[in-house]
Each structure stands twice: as C-alpha cells, then as structure tokens.
Amino acid sequence: MPIRKIPRSHSSVTGCLASDKAVGDAQYESTLERDLYTLLEFDPAVSSYEVQPVRIDYIDEEGKARHYTPDVLVHYEKRPRGESPRRPLLCEVKPVAQLAGHWREIRRKVQAARAFVGTRDWEFRVLTERHIRTPYLDNARFLLPFKRRPTDQAAEALLVDRLRELRSTDPQTLLAAVYWDPENRDLLIPSLWKLIAYGIVECDLGLPLTMTTRIWLREA
C-alpha cells in the first residue's frame, strides 16, 4: 500500500490510473509515471506493483537527515520450475532533463535506494522517457483496453484455426483468409487485437503495430 499520498498539483499532471494490478491506488504525479503504469498493466510478466511503496532515510550533502520515497515497486510472476525467480524491482521515474539538472540532489537518493535494496533481494533502476516512451508503450496503450473486452470464443477460434494453417502472416491477410467481405472482417478485428494483447497471437511489439505487422501463433 502507498505510504505517501500524492497531492494535487497545478504544475504537473496528477491522477489515478484504473488498475488491475496495483496494490492500492495507482496514483501518479506525472504523465511519465502514468505511462510506466500502463506498461506494468500490460506486461504479462508483472503480477502486481505498489506505488510510493517504501520510505528510505538518508543523509544529504550537508549532513542533514532526509527521507525519500521511490515511485514504484514491481513484483513479477513466478517463473517455471528450474528458472531463477525475477527479483522485485524498485523504480524511480525521472525525465532525462530533470536528472541532468538536479543530479547532485538526486544522486544521494539513488545511492540510498541502492543501499536499501542491497539489504533485500530487490533491484533498483532509474527509468526515464528513453526507457518508457517507446513503440512498445504505444502498442500497450492501444491493446490494453482489448484485454477488458468480452471474449468472442467463436471469432477467436476462427482466427486461431486459420492462423495455424497460415503459420505466419499479417492481420489484413489473416482477416481476408477468414472472410471475403469487409463487414465480417471488421467484426473480427477486436478479437484479433485481444488475442495479440494476451500473447496468444504473437508479433514484435517493439515495432509499431499495423495491419501489415508479421504475426504468428504462440508455441504451446
């Protein structure tokens, strides 16, 4: 549960993301934090996350006692037997410009956070827009609502069966292989995006998702 409430601000975007994975409210105090939470909601490897999760005490450069609350703690799904478990990740979210302009102050917090996770079996990272705002975020933002749509089992079965025959293709070719008329093809599109959102149909989500993206069935 969050140990610090995020106040309303007139100088930055604050709010609360509708979440299926957050422990407590998924409050954010910047659009960059909001975008990170979108990635965490979409990522199947993430089981849950905690916003403003822990307080870390440290001494600043003037010798004064301070405390610092990192932005989010990410927990991961268990891996198959034989694979090493993925350790929880404590994250600080900062724009590159803010890191450059306030590094002397931020450095002490980063050092304190690294010492803190060293006493636990956690990892720590500072995440910037270079890590977060990628084509993968655009795809996650687009696909996430399809995870919450009702399942059309008949449509999904049609798509999966035909893709199994084609082995590897693209969305527009797959849809045309199921129905010749555009109206029925359009009815299948939400089901195809849902299959991709859940990873049943795979593609390279590091690239922009289009109707000509190469897709294939996940191996059983």
Domains observed in the chain? 15-132 (3.40.1350.10), 148-217 (1.10.10.10)
φ, ψ for residue 139, nearest 5 deg = -70, -40
Adjacency order of strands within the sheet including 89-93: 46-51, 72-76, 89-93, 123-127
For the record, the structure tokens of 129 come out as 């827009």
DSSP string, 107-159: HHHHHHHHHHHHTTT-EEEEE-HHHHSSHHHHHHHHHHHHHTSPP-HHHHHHH
The pLDDT of residue 167 is: 94
Chunked in runs of 10, what are the mean pLDDT values of the chain (220 residues)?
Answer: 55 81 92 96 96 92 88 92 88 94 89 94 96 97 95 96 97 96 94 98 97 94
pTM exceeding 0.85:
yes
The pLDDT of residue 12 is: 61
The pLDDT of residue 11 is: 46
